Amino acid sequence: MNVPNAGGPLNARSLRARTSMSPETRLHLAAHPFAYPLMRLLARLGPVVRVPGLGVVVNDAATARRVLMDGRFRKDGPGSPGDLWTPVLGPSVLLNMEGEPHAALRAKLAPLFTPSSVAALVADVLAEPLEELRVRLAKGDTVDLVDEMRLLAGAVICRAVGLGEVSAARARRLFADGERVVSMVSLRTRRLSPRQAAVAREVLDGIGDIAQAAYDAGDPATVMGRMRELGLSAAEARGAAGAFFLTGTETVATFVPRLVALLHDHDISDVDLDRAIEEAMRVTTPTPVMLRSVARPVRVGRVLASPGDRVVIVTHNCARAYGPFDPSRPHPPELRRLWFGAGPHFCIGYPLALAEIRAVARVVLERPVEVVSRRAARGVLLPTYERLLVRAA
């Protein structure tokens, strides 16, 4: 991969000349101008620190993994992510459940995410748009990878929640709706305001209605039809569709442009794709934090957490402690895929995310590409480019 040759406002060479700040750091600062510097400062204060108003902050991968594997840290208590999403998604959507009901729902959903299920979904939805992308890049067109990913990740989720053939406009609109809901949340948000909850509910009711119609139709060739076949109730299927929509669209879409930019900025062209993806996941940590609540006194490293405390695992700090982007370096066991969580709540969509990312990255990185220009997005929860123009080098 070559260094950029165009003088866009934020191309890597001009950036390096003007400042030592990496493009990745710029993305974080654009998304969270106040919280990001604070978050990075906290990393220097130790593996676990109590921060008034924020909670017990974990900056260390081994401690984070212990918390995630320990049932005393919950996603359904006061101050947990459940507080945030239950009013909008309902009480039973994996990410706000614990214990036996959580394990039972996960077991029912597991067959949807086997390698063969996700491969079929991705091939079915993405074959055509990816072929178009391949042709455009081969012709030497300049492509906005951010917009392209909105379309591709939006299309996969549209299909997963029950839409049949999806127009590009529909996929983009769905992506924008999701972004609007996710961006209501900041690091300090504990509850959505009534107005925010109303907007979120409207968007998610729309998703629920699409899911319900596909569930009622019961075609086992569709994800919702399979859910019915697998024994999920209509309410569970609606909730799962909402959860997939909220968690599975922006995460994937924001990652691919960051992966391509990282490879470009480090002048890496000849690398095993899976290693590059894993290492770019470590450096970018698409979801920078994970939250848990505490129901009774429990130690987190050297800090005693009390009932009502919120534990904020700063995945980004945990992962960044292992140095700059370097796909040739293996990850130690404590770090293993921490960016997808660990333990009972480990990302159920991991196989789908990886299948989507691999499929797009294979097409984009088929030949050396250069980043022509880029701009960081503001006012978003997940740091991302607003625009990343690439073309064949």
Residue 42 or 353 with smaller CB distance to ligand HEM: 353
Least distance in angstroms from the C-beta of 85 to ligand HEM: 10
Q: Which residue has 């009502």 as its token pair?
A: 308
Amino acid symbol at 251: T
Least distance in angstroms from the C-beta of 115 to ligand HEM: 14
Q: What is the 3-state secondary structure (H, E, C) of 210-233?
A: HHHHHHHHCCCCCHHHHHHHCCCC
Amino acid symbol at 338: L
Residue 11 or 96 with smaller CB distance to ligand HEM: 96
Amino acid symbol at 57: V
Least distance in angstroms from the C-beta of 336 to ligand HEM: 13
11 φψ region: left (φ > 0), alpha (ψ -120 to 50), beta (else)? beta
Residue 11 or 384 with smaller CB distance to ligand HEM: 384
Residue 4 or 65 with smaller CB distance to ligand HEM: 65
Residue 137 or 353 with smaller CB distance to ligand HEM: 353
Q: What are phi and psi of 221, to 5 degrees?
A: -75, -10
Residue 240 or 372 with smaller CB distance to ligand HEM: 240
Angle between helices 194-217 and 168-182 (to 10 degrees): 140
Residue nearest to ligand HEM (CB): 349
Of 237, 234, 202, 254, the closest CA to residue 385 belongs to 254
How many angstroms separate the Cα of 138 from the Cα of each of 142, 167, 232, 257, 261? 10, 24, 44, 18, 19
Least distance in angstroms from the C-beta of 16 to ligand HEM: 27
Least distance in angstroms from the C-beta of 289 to ligand HEM: 9
Query: Quick one: which H or E segment has residue 45?
Result: none
Least distance in angstroms from the C-beta of 335 to ligand HEM: 13
Residues near ligand HEM (CB under 6 A) are 94-95, 106, 243-244, 247-248, 251-252, 255, 286-287, 290, 339-341, 345, 347-349, 352-353
392 is written with which tokens?
A: 């064949």
Least distance in angstroms from the C-beta of 19 to ligand HEM: 28
Residue 239 or 301 with smaller CB distance to ligand HEM: 239
Distance (Å, rounded) from C-alpha 330 to C-alpha 128?
35
Residue 15 or 298 with smaller CB distance to ligand HEM: 298
Least distance in angstroms from the C-beta of 157 to ligand HEM: 7
Helices (H), the chain: 12-18, 23-31, 35-43, 61-69, 81-89, 99-109, 115-139, 145-161, 168-182, 194-217, 223-229, 234-248, 250-265, 273-284, 315-320, 350-364
Least distance in angstroms from the C-beta of 7 to ligand HEM: 32
Residue partners of 223: CB distance under 8 A and separation at least 6: 112, 121, 159, 160, 161, 162, 214
Residue 247 or 317 with smaller CB distance to ligand HEM: 247
